[in-house]
Chain A
């Protein structure tokens, strides 16, 4: 867009103002519709302005937006999982800011239709739909055909609740990433270290004093010439280095270090921790997952349902990048690679049909003999992505955060409680486990360390 060849884009201000105007107009239209339907014969046009707010609330009360906290939190989950990619409550992203949406659309019923099948609403010639469609450069919202009325309502409830919140003062929160600060302060550790060094030095001094005292004592005794020589022989480098104890110590230390490094080296074969290859597209999780807080599972669709979390296909990138044509870090260069892959011409916003798959470099490579299923961990156990993948939302370039060795898996299976809440599959196991003892049921207690759970 910056090369000036294409049509001049609207700047943000223009978009915002047109949005406002549009909303304003829409409210009037909506009221007029209601007027026509119900009240036109009863009221004279002069009372119309006074009825505006009243009618609006009446029409919405028919499909009251719930305020129940449970519904709001359900809505929040849905919003974060699906809507947040394009919509924010108070700011405009790909799509409009949703705050106050309930007041500007024709009806709640309209929202239901729109969410389930926007194309149909647009095709039906709906005025508001076509207006907003035109407003957003004819980019269509993804259809969520499976959503039920109550689900959409819960999202609206969340939006409403969120919009009502007064902007809280930014809390100076600490990093809070997975695997944060240690429990013991560093200063405390330093003190202990210094104290121990002092004790050791004192010990050496005491030993030297004892040796001196002993020598003096022996010199005062009547000793043979040989003995005297032994007692007074100076401690030289040669005498120390030839002593069996010293030789043993050196061999022992060298041997131990060699042994340890060989073992460590062998154990690291095939372990690719911190593997951070260059990817064909400089995609930044820091921007997408961190800054824009896009839910991981929005793109990694398989994580909840199958073995693979799935690297998103570029058509999924296009959900947003059909609109966002310049990136934060890299400008248009990297996004152009997506367009090349899906065969999209950003100038004309059309698809050419010439596609070229993107060859990402696999970072997390489990050996073929190990079976891992994302849905077991993400969906059933409710493990968050960061547990294994680390602070992915802070990575510009993704690296392998965990070692992904069998010991690492086993360790977690030993420590982790089974997420049995609300899962009837585990009922019998929980019952049997609780009769056997009071300890929490760990993964290992239900066969989580068995070979054929991962190897077959």
Chain B
């Protein structure tokens, strides 16, 4: 970085120059102390060897007989060895994603985004990608139960119906409790149930509530709804704590829209500007151009301040309250005013008053109809906090006689969960359709498991007039039953076949309007094939804001305080395990949190300053101490992590952990932060304390241990103002010394270079649009059968991920002393860099392998041959990017890894494995293969059809999963491929297929260019929309 004086650091340990960190900084594999003497002698070894030889020779006498069992009646469209794809919909509470399910021999093995959906836009999230393993969760209920006893469906139906009848006869109250339901047919089914039992009420709630927003919209516009947002039209984005790239409302959709505003090149040198005001360093905050750490108790006041600043410009009257001296707020107001109608202001707050003021700001800016679309109301979150609280009160008061939990877990994920659990004991009829034996399911008498969503028929309406279908991709594995069918049976309906009901509903609801002259069956088939039906929304009606701002100001004044000095707690949804419903999924548990890089746990995050005051210390080995966190009168014991960017005076903790009945993967990991919530608010302002305990603890973090040793050509970044002047701004052009002169490293090589006559695979990763969300990591794990290794092994730096996302902090100036360190860590800039095998043309790993197990292909791939590898690890040692991972253990069929890696250790879990990719054994090296199985199958399909390969036919798993489109993969020899155009590869007529492609895109660079290994992965510089290069500290 020749032109800035930034310092990059990977964690506080590096910044502090912690002795333990320095000691291990240059080692990839840290020596964690000599393992204890196992107590075996040489004699034992010989005995064992003798026995083994005898055993092996005996065992080798006879080859095991392998059976091949064909279908009795082969389905016409299923061919062994050929995958089938079905459009469907992911659903988890109110979370929604339109997907395409890849199945092999009737087993779903991979989930990808459905590009036909304009709601999720072909993107996925980590949780969507991981949900395929939840299908094969060993903790799923095998069939219906009464209490803890297995029972037949008929008997359960009989008992439930007779009890429902009794309750109905005496006029008792029945409740159906669920998360937000997106499915029109399910709602219709529940209506049928209600018609049979008229005392039934349906209560919807959300783990993280958006009720305040709905109420605010009701007041402001007359109806309780949540509008669609279109960030892609926004030039200025201001967010008060709303983590719209990570967890807020519809992050997959927003990531795509946001990325569209962050794509820049020589021709388009404009991008959006993003302000974030928040307490925890969120994923969204990490991507912001201007980020201001703010106490949660002040955020409402900052919103009023912003309103007043804009109102002053608009010539409207201001409202009471407001907070002076919030960094960047004045600047944000100016930018917003200058970009009226092309901006958006959002807030995470569940406080009606705050959301009303936010609506007021957006109305003043004329954002309704452009970036905020009230005509396309979304249904993702419809939970009603009041109804839910009333239900729990009624249950405790003994006023409820029957309750059916439809796929929700309030005992765990509601603030009053413990109260509900106690109350359920005295409710006469308790039923849960949850498909695992979770906290709520354990607390009810009748367990009537629903199918997993991949086994179900259903329909959804994620947005008004945007419909989608979900179809089973596998025959139900267990004796579960579609919950809607259960409702219909209990309602005494004759037709309980939910598939035919959905189909009939679509016929009567949508076919007439949207059939387009097709006959119904063809139209239905088309809907199923597409997975979505999008007639689109009505035209945007002008929304006239009529909220009561004075009342809102008063509401804010009663809740928010400018001068709070005590600790405040800010609770957030975990990026990996989300709200905890998929906690038993090791793919998510081992997905590093994008910011903290912690796996298999959730520490509380505190700022450097507070940590010093409270006496917590972290070291380079992720050693920390337990603290006792008290909030809302409840105390929990949690490890403490010092987090740069954490607002001073605040502590952060994520939801999704502390599950008590969830299965072996996640049981008793972390604490339940739902219980710490302040009513329905994620922020707790009072009565929060954190005290140090004597208990030490080691966290498992996937980063802090791999430094790039000051070679700062790794991250190349600049600011938009510089980029406008020079599109190569921020680029580092390293030179190497020859005896006479300094030259470009690309011109020096020991080799003459080689030609790739057929394809030349390459990848481009745009650091500007990569948000660091991590869905690519999970997609890679699922696609490539990457082993999960568990917490202990991650602590030993043995995670197996082929693709990691390095998160670098940067801040200005030097930081030697403690004050400077505190300042630097207060609010650093963040860069995410996906790091995977770079497929170097002059790969250093290849030259050191003594057995030629890693070699180069004629298509530019760096190939890893597991069956040839003898495990010397020379290659990992020689890899400048540290992307090679070694199998220290046999992670499959090994009881030691049963808990962490059920996908390779249980019969059920193994169904998720990709049959095209070898499961690696102990003692071999592995790494990213550029999804060679996809390349090969794409090529073969082209060969079979006797035509050249088309661009876009081969996409890697990470690329497919990337909602923002930051990853582009393709053939660099193909002049018409997307990657050729993106990198502006200039054709070298003398040597068109050579390894040295002339890259014309000034933003494109190779990491560690100076060492001359010539990777086939290019990164595009990170450009921040800032006025000057200086970081705001």
Contacts and interface: CB of A to CB of B under 8 A. Distances in A.
B544 interface: no
A436 to B, nearest CB: 9
B272 to A, nearest CB: 40
A148 to B, nearest CB: 18
A456 B918 contact: yes
Contacts of B947: 424-425
A274 interface: no
B79 A357 contact: no
Interface in A327-377: 341-343, 355-362, 365, 367-369, 371, 373, 375-376
Nearest to B992: A432
A376 B945 CA distance: 11
Contacts of A360: 67-70
Contacts of A422: 946
Contact of B929 (A424, A429, A446, A452): A452
Contact of A368 (B69, B70, B918, B946): B918
- Quick one: which of A313, A361, A373, A427 has the most chain B CB within 10 A? A313
Interface in A274-322: 275, 277, 301-302, 305-308, 310-316
Given A308-B80, A360-B69, A361-B68, A427 B948 contact: yes
Judged by DSSP, the binding face of A is loop
A357 B944 contact: no
A361 B65 contact: yes
A53 B62 CA distance: 70
B543 to A, nearest CB: 54
A359 B70 CA distance: 8
A148 B930 CA distance: 41
A427 B942 CA distance: 12
Given A310-B79, A376-B940, A355 B72 contact: yes
A375 B865 CA distance: 23
- Quick one: which of B916, B944, B949 has the most chain A CB within 10 A? B944
A189 to B, nearest CB: 37
A423 B863 contact: no
A379 interface: yes
Interface stretch (B147-155, B639-647, B854-862): B854-862
Contacts, number: 155
Nearest to A422: B946
B918 A455 contact: yes
Contacts of A375: 940, 944
B74 A446 contact: no
B81 A315 contact: no
Given A424-B946, A425-B948, A428-B757, A456 B70 contact: no
A456 B929 contact: yes
Contact of B943 (A277, A308, A380): A380
Contact of B72 (A272, A314, A427, A452): A314
Interface string A380-407: 1000000000000000000000000000
B27 interface: no
Contact of A369 (B70, B867, B949): B867
Contacts of B73: 313-315, 342, 355
Interface string B841-867: 000000000000101011101011111
Contacts of B46: none
B33 to A, nearest CB: 35
Contacts of B857: 447, 450-452
A134 interface: no
B56 to A, nearest CB: 10
Contact of B71 (A277, A356, A357): A357
B973 to A, nearest CB: 9
B91 to A, nearest CB: 32
A311 B74 CA distance: 11
Contacts of A270: 63
A428 B942 CA distance: 14
A358 B69 contact: yes
A169 interface: no
B80 A306 contact: yes
Interface string B973-988: 0000000000000000
Contacts of A452: 857, 861, 863-865, 929, 932
A315 B74 contact: yes
Contact of A456 (B858, B859, B933, B943): B933
A432 B757 CA distance: 7
Contacts of B949: 425
Nearest to B940: A376
A82 to B, nearest CB: 15
Contact of A315 (B69, B72, B855, B942): B72
Contacts of A414: none
B948 A428 contact: yes
Contacts of B861: 452
Interface in A422-453: 422-429, 432-433, 446-447, 450-453
Contact of A357 (B65, B69, B859): B69
Contacts of A355: 72-73
A54 interface: no
Contacts of B72: 313-315, 341-343, 355-358
Contacts of B919: 368
B990 interface: no
A341 B70 CA distance: 11
B66 interface: yes
B60 interface: yes
B65 A371 contact: no
Interface of A: 269-270, 272, 275, 277, 301-302, 305-308, 310-316, 341-343, 355-362, 365, 367-369, 371, 373, 375-376, 379-380, 422-429, 432-433, 446-447, 450-453, 455-456
Given A307-B80, A342-B72, A425-B943, 13 more contacts: A269-B60, A310-B80, A310-B81, A313-B73, A315-B71, A355-B73, A362-B66, A371-B916, A424-B947, A425-B942, A446-B858, A455-B867, A456-B933
What 6 pairs between A and B have smallest CB-CB spacing? A307-B81, A452-B863, A313-B74, A451-B865, A308-B81, A447-B858
Interface of B: 60, 63, 65-74, 79-82, 757-758, 853, 855, 857-859, 861, 863-868, 916-919, 929, 932-933, 936, 939-940, 942-944, 946-949, 993
9 contacts: A275-B63, A305-B79, A360-B69, A429-B757, A447-B857, A450-B857, A453-B936, A456-B929, A456-B933
